[in-house]
Structure 1
Amino acid sequence: MPLLSVSEKLEKKIISRFQKAIYDYNLICDGDKMLIGLSGGKDSLCLIDLISRRLKINKPSFTAEALHIRMANIKYESDLSYLKDFSESRGIKFNVITTQFDSMTDKRKSPCFLCSWNRRKQLFTKAQELGCNKIALGHHMDDIIHTTMMNLYFQGSFSTMPVRLKMRKMPLTIIRPLCLEEENDLRQYALNNNYQKQIKLCPYETDSHRSDISIMFKHIEEMNKEARYSVWNALEKNGKLIEE
């Protein structure tokens, strides 16, 4: 049996963690109709890639479409033709919506909050329009841990973005199939597979507490390499990863 290359080992690890997340947290079921949030970043491209592989397996049997949301008043841009080809070459229909928000309507909220809120609103609306019951987002383990720390330090709450979240006011469930993936692995996987980078990155991406928390957590991991797993286990034991 030939030895696997470094890139093949990484691919195998990522696929294994993806499958484990699906089974451990019951993320995909027979008959699901899924809408995938496709921002154009490495994480959402990886999500499309992995879900497309899963579609080829008989069980569970489900369907999926992708949605890219363009925010007209934010200098954050992706190559739409690339995203369309990337999705549809993998058997996933590509949809795009262009919208915008008025940052003057509520000066108490940051542009990041308003942008995220409006994107989420469009995602929910399109999912229901298409008759979807699941929305898949590309958040990975680092995102979930950083959110936990932000909520703890700035809100005084031990909570996070759940791996599976059933919405109360609409027949939708949000799932995060990349929840067991580490960002460094996804970054290398994207390089190995020549994913195209976004044309312009968000101008506000370094202006939030999230970037500060990310730096802080890197220092914590220098002190304890198992820190992320300690946080994850605490979230799991306290029932914070699934919200019905």
Structure 2
Amino acid sequence: MNHTDTRKETLEFNKLAKRLRRNVGNAITDYNMIEEGDVVMACMSGGKDSFAMLDILLSLQKVAPIHFEVIAVNLDQKQPGFPEHILPDYFETLNIPYYIVDKDTYSVVKEKVPEGKTTCGLCSRLRRGTLYSFAEKIGATKIALGHHMDDMVETLFLNMFHGARLKGMPPKLRSDDGRNVVIRPLTYCREKDLIRFAEEKNFPIIPCNLCGSQENLQRQAIKAMLTEWDKKDAGRVESVFKSLQNVSPSQLADKNLFDFESLPLDRSGERAEYAFSEATVSSTNIDKALYIDVANI
């Protein structure tokens, strides 16, 4: 590779890194994810997304107008063959505070879930409970997860197709008991950008042996659908995501979200301007006494 190619690659990576940092910064601002004095628990799975999230949070921490702490936390779920040394070694190179929390959720999931069935639901519940409890123990005020825009759109369709619910994955979430707040700083980031970023940064990625082997997962089918959409119509995933930020309850059908039962007719006020409102009646069998000025409807 010649000098010109190297310089071009460096320039492209710098643009990518700047875009990701900007997207994360905008998401944090838009949803007030991180505030003065926050202790952010960055949940590290060992995947590309959590590595990218931690890298970007540490970059923003240096230039942010507010002070906040970042603590890296990995939940070691005792998956067979999990390389336990990789994450501690990586955290040491960054010289940041970290915890490795041991919880054998792997055995529980393998015991409870029949072979071939989706493990993600139970696995995520067990993981969430452990992380919520640990966040309180260390005084973390925010729990940062590495979900990105693609994850959020995929979750929307998963809930629609397989749960009959119009429900997604919010950028910021308070737990049901109010004791924890979850944030997703990568909300505005596309997965394809994160893949490139991780490759360039050469993060020590650790594959998930529990769910990664289940190629028939429903999420994989949704991901394939979105990938095909992206090929045919670039920007469609972004459009779907933006629809989550632009909801019109009266244009849906949830009776609990909008009061469809009490929509009284009221013609007492001034009529709004209707497009193409003028029309002429050319034929009718209704007695003219039953209507007023039908010729000028």
TM score, norm. by length of structure 2:
0.73
User: Percent identity among equivalent residues?
Assistant: 28
Q: Assess if the C-alpha contact under 8 Å between 1:52 and 1:92 holds in 2.
A: no
Q: CA deviation at 1:61?
A: 1.1
User: Which residue is 2:18 aligned to?
Assistant: 12
Higher relative contact order (CA 8 A, sep 6+): 1
Alignment partner of 1:233 is 2:237: no
1:211–1:232 distance in 2 versus 1, CA, 3 Å: same
Distance 2:171 2:248 in 1: 11
Count of residues paired in the alignment:
236
Alignment partner of 1:81 is 2:89: no
Alignment partner of 1:175 is 2:179: no
Larger displacement relative to structure 2 (122-131 or 204-213):
204-213
When you count strand as a share of all residues, which structure comes out higher? 1
Alignment partner of 1:111 is 2:119: yes
Distance 1:192 1:44 in 2: 15
Alignment partner of 1:195 is 2:203: yes
Structure 1: any 5+ residue segments left out of the alignment? none
Q: Assess if the C-alpha contact under 8 Å between 1:33 and 1:62 holds in 2.
A: yes
Alignment partner of 1:47 is 2:53: yes
User: Which residue is 1:208 aligned to?
Assistant: 217
User: Which residue is 1:147 aligned to?
Assistant: 155
User: Which residue is 1:120 aligned to?
Assistant: 128
1:1-51, CA deviations, whole angstroms, 9 ceiling, x for partnerless residues? x98711111111111111111111211110111111100111101111111
TM score, norm. by length of structure 1:
0.88
Q: Secondary structure at the match of 2:228?
A: helix
Distance 2:58 2:22 in 1: 15
Distance 1:234 1:17 in 2: 18
Runs of 4+ aligned residues of structure 1 deviating over 6 Å after TM superposition are none
1:166–1:201 distance in 2 versus 1, CA, 3 Å: closer
Distance 2:140 2:171 in 1: 18
RMSD, matched Cα: 2.4
Q: CA deviation at 1:80?
A: 3.7
Q: Secondary structure at the match of 2:63?
A: coil
Q: Assess if the C-alpha contact under 8 Å between 1:35 and 1:127 holds in 2.
A: yes
Distance 1:169 1:154 in 2: 27
1:97–1:114 distance in 2 versus 1, CA, 3 Å: same
1:183–1:239 distance in 2 versus 1, CA, 3 Å: farther
